[in-house]
Structure 1
Amino acid sequence: MCAAPRNRLSRRRFAQALGLAVLPGAGAGAGAGAGADVARAAQRARVTIRLSHVVARQTPKGLALEHFRERVRVLSQGEIEVLIYPNSLLYGDEDEMQALQLGAVDMLAPSLSKFGPIGFPEFELFDLPFMFDATAQVHRTMQGAVGRELLDLLSRQRLLGLGYLDNGFKHMSANRPLLAPADFVGLRVRIQSSRVIAHQMRALGAKPVVLTFGETHRALAAGVVDGTENPVSNFWTQRMHQAQTDLSLTAHGYLGYAIVVHQQFWQYLEPADRAVVEQALAESLAWGNAIAQQENDEALAALRASGATRIHALDAVQRQRLRHATRGVHEALAARIGADWLRRMRGAAAAAA
């Protein structure tokens, strides 16, 4: 398969960062063997943390969470084990937040879009089109007052936000170039469950279709939807290039994640264990954010080398036309969450530019 070279690169970088040897078969997909590994790890450890996510291990998020697992093991001297269930193996887009609230899983790394549907529409600020121009700008915004206050909101549902993690900027794919608003008209576009993203697609003349991430490739291949939006790493690792002829580098929106636990689980941990988790997470989020752009760059290079998909770069005029067509999305969100939130986010983004 054409994805293999990139998977080897990702595993090598991950191992080198942790000072480990690269072993044959490392990073293999979860299956019966993975289940046995989980059972053995749980028997060895004093504390286990079940961590579910919906993307592949070789994505920026997947690699950062594997880094976190290993740092927790090292810092706790094996007494705390993080059991990772990638690729919707345990829970998917549609049920992972409920699973966390019910205690069926201990830690998640959901996309920021996931918080709007469960009662935190303020997080949809991150979904706004053309809010940010660079990942460094996003990082500074997240680390500032607005980013911290958004995580604090989660306490309303006894959730605790522990930090933010990058994937990168989203781009549009379809079976035709998407370079101007007119190109979107009539397209059925797969989106996450986000009112902001749905409004953005309608503003461009497209028809938003909410599907889980795990269903997206099949829906594209079957013609249920015509296109989607994703960072290049997701597009590549999910093999969407097998179902889409064109990728347009729109960089119209940002995709990031929040690391979140339930407060009851956090209180269950001993203070020393919480300190280990916090230290490991701080190290791993910094590491993950540092390699996210490189992972996307490598995915784009692999995609170009595969020749499977035509890649289109937008110029400044084309991006401005898309920005102009979606300008009403910002004001519509402000009407729902309050103009002050939008004003503060815009101010934070401008100060971080």
Structure 2
Amino acid sequence: MFVKKMAMSVAALALSAALFAGPALAQKPIVIKFSHVVAENTPKGQMANKFRDLVAERLKGKVEVEVYPNSQLFGDNKVLEAMLLGDVQMAAPSLSKFSRYTKKLQLYDLPFLFENIDAVDRFQHGPAGQKLLQSVSKKGLIGLGYLHNGMKQLTASKPLRVPEDARGLKFRIMSSDVLAAQFKALGAIPLKKPFSEVFTLLQTKAIDGQENTWSNIYSKKFYEVQPYITESNHGVLDYMVVTSQEFWNGLPADIRAEVKSALDEAIAFGNQVAKEKAKSDKQKIIDSKRCTLIELTPAERAQWVEVMRPVWKKFERQIGKDLIDAAYASNQAK
């Protein structure tokens, strides 16, 4: 009898513990570790923090976003591997970092394809651009949206107005076959060098020029060691916010929808910050009077486009002619 009562008491205690623990376990939030490589005051950093705050506001107790800036968790070269292992749930590497996973995103390296950032926006929000987000799906990843750094400009030791002006000059590039082909088409010499070495290379005249966004040209003081900047808008330097299919598809449908809504809003905020920063940093460079700004006429820009068309053709098979055509068509405002 005593044993029977003892068993009943143990069962009751177990049930009570289960009932008590059940709600607590159910309330444990889903954690999203968001890793990125830049400071919190950058457009990317501000976007990530905005996303964290929106999720906290809308999904309090259900989802928690932890932001790790300045490569605290992973650098861009390792973060995608870590994501597939489940060590991080979101990141926003530059588009060039996806070359191991798909060749289609090389589209954004193609020179003189987009006229300005508004054309980039039209393409990215259109069906072709949205489809490109899924180009990494076969590797277990899902693109969730695009984030701007800005349009690239050319800086050089001499004025660059027409393609012929770049002949024989040495330009630093990121590790990209498309960018190498871009400068070879000009008769220039592309040199793959780390971003951290660019200022010294320019200062010592080991290279003659480089390509970058207004924010990078200003923050890294390239304008102090380059006498000329051509406002070429010849390429785009963007990021893709990405997650793993396993994590994303494992979220409950209602929570996934709320997280995506918050992310879309945060990306729109980050892109506006990026656009405003590009304008303000450009003006700071002009106000410094340290270099001469060259604005291309429509006729001059048309010459650059014609010289670059063979580069588009060279990578057409890897990227897709339909995507290149859709990107070029985005220059025509709807």
TM-score range, shorter chain: 0.7 to 0.9
Equivalent residue for 2:146?
A: 164
Residue 160 to residue 219, structure 1, CA distance change in 2 (3 Å): farther
Q: Is the 8 A contact 2:167 2:188 kept in 1?
A: yes
Equivalent residue letter for 2:67: L
Q: Are 2:273 and 1:291 aligned?
A: yes
TM-score, normalised to structure 1, is: 0.76
Q: Give unmatched runs, 5+ long, in structure 2.
A: 1-27
Over residues 288-337 of structure 1, what are the superposed CA-to-partner deviations in whole Å (9 max), with x where a residue is unaligned?
22332221110111122233333222222322222222121111111334
Task: Give the alignment of 1:176-255 within 5 angstroms.
Answer: 176-221=158-203, 223=205, 225-255=207-237
Q: Tell me the distance in 2 between the aligned counterparts of 1:320 and 1:182.
A: 13
Q: Tell me the distance in 1 between the aligned counterparts of 2:313 and 2:119.
A: 22
C-alpha root-mean-square deviation of aligned residues, in Å?
2.7
Match of 1:81 among 45, 65, 75: 65
Q: Tell me the distance in 2 between the aligned counterparts of 1:93 and 1:227.
A: 25
**TM-fit CA distance, 1:282:** 1.0
1:205 counterpart SS class: coil
Residue 104 to residue 235, structure 1, CA distance change in 2 (3 Å): farther
Q: Are 2:116 and 1:134 aligned?
A: yes
Equivalent residue for 2:104?
A: 122
Task: Give the alignment of 1:289-328 within 5 angstroms.
Answer: 289-328=271-310
1:51 counterpart SS class: strand
In terms of mean alpha carbon deviation, does 154-163 or 224-233 score higher? 224-233
Equivalent residue for 2:19?
A: none
Q: Is the 8 A contact 2:45 2:69 kept in 1?
A: no
1:327 counterpart SS class: helix
Larger radius of gyration: 2
Q: Is the 8 A contact 1:166 1:256 kept in 2?
A: yes
1:118 counterpart SS class: coil
Task: Give the alignment of 1:17-56 within 5 angstroms.
Answer: 46-56=29-39
Q: Are 2:311 and 1:329 aligned?
A: yes
Identity of aligned residues (%): 36
Residue 315 to residue 133, structure 1, CA distance change in 2 (3 Å): same
Equivalent residue letter for 1:205: G
Residue 55 to residue 172, structure 1, CA distance change in 2 (3 Å): farther
Q: Is the 8 A contact 2:114 2:327 kept in 1?
A: no
Q: Tell me the distance in 2 between the aligned counterparts of 1:140 and 1:249.
A: 21
Equivalent residue letter for 2:95: L
Q: Tell me the distance in 1 between the aligned counterparts of 2:194 and 2:82.
A: 16
Equivalent residue letter for 2:53: E
**TM-fit CA distance, 1:287:** 1.6
Equivalent residue letter for 1:81: V
Q: Tell me the distance in 2 between the aligned counterparts of 1:153 and 1:96.
A: 18
Q: Is the 8 A contact 1:51 1:83 kept in 2?
A: yes
Q: Tell me the distance in 2 between the aligned counterparts of 1:294 and 1:132.
A: 19
Residue 337 to residue 314, structure 1, CA distance change in 2 (3 Å): closer
Residue 206 to residue 280, structure 1, CA distance change in 2 (3 Å): same
Q: Are 2:80 and 1:100 aligned?
A: no
Residue 243 to residue 53, structure 1, CA distance change in 2 (3 Å): farther
Equivalent residue for 1:112?
A: 95
Q: Are 2:242 and 1:260 aligned?
A: yes
**TM-fit CA distance, 1:203:** 0.7
**TM-fit CA distance, 1:188:** 2.7
TM-score, normalised to structure 2, is: 0.80
Residue 182 to residue 345, structure 1, CA distance change in 2 (3 Å): closer
Match of 2:52 among 63, 69, 79: 69
Equivalent residue letter for 1:265: F
Residue 350 to residue 179, structure 1, CA distance change in 2 (3 Å): closer
Q: Tell me the distance in 2 between the aligned counterparts of 1:145 and 1:344.
A: 9
Equivalent residue letter for 1:84: Y
Q: Give unmatched runs, 5+ long, in structure 1.
A: 1-44
Q: Tell me the distance in 1 between the aligned counterparts of 2:197 and 2:31.
A: 29
Q: Is the 8 A contact 1:54 1:214 kept in 2?
A: no
**TM-fit CA distance, 1:142:** 1.2
Q: Tell me the distance in 1 between the aligned counterparts of 2:72 and 2:169.
A: 30
Residue 62 to residue 206, structure 1, CA distance change in 2 (3 Å): farther
Q: Tell me the distance in 1 between the aligned counterparts of 2:264 and 2:31.
A: 19
Over residues 2-42 of structure 1, what are the superposed CA-to-partner deviations in whole Å (9 max), with x where a residue is unaligned?
xxxxxxxxxxxxxxxxxxxxxxxxxxxxxxxxxxxxxxxxx
Residue 104 to residue 256, structure 1, CA distance change in 2 (3 Å): same
Equivalent residue for 2:24?
A: none
Q: Tell me the distance in 1 between the aligned counterparts of 2:167 and 2:188.
A: 5
**TM-fit CA distance, 1:250:** 0.9
Q: Is the 8 A contact 2:40 2:69 kept in 1?
A: no
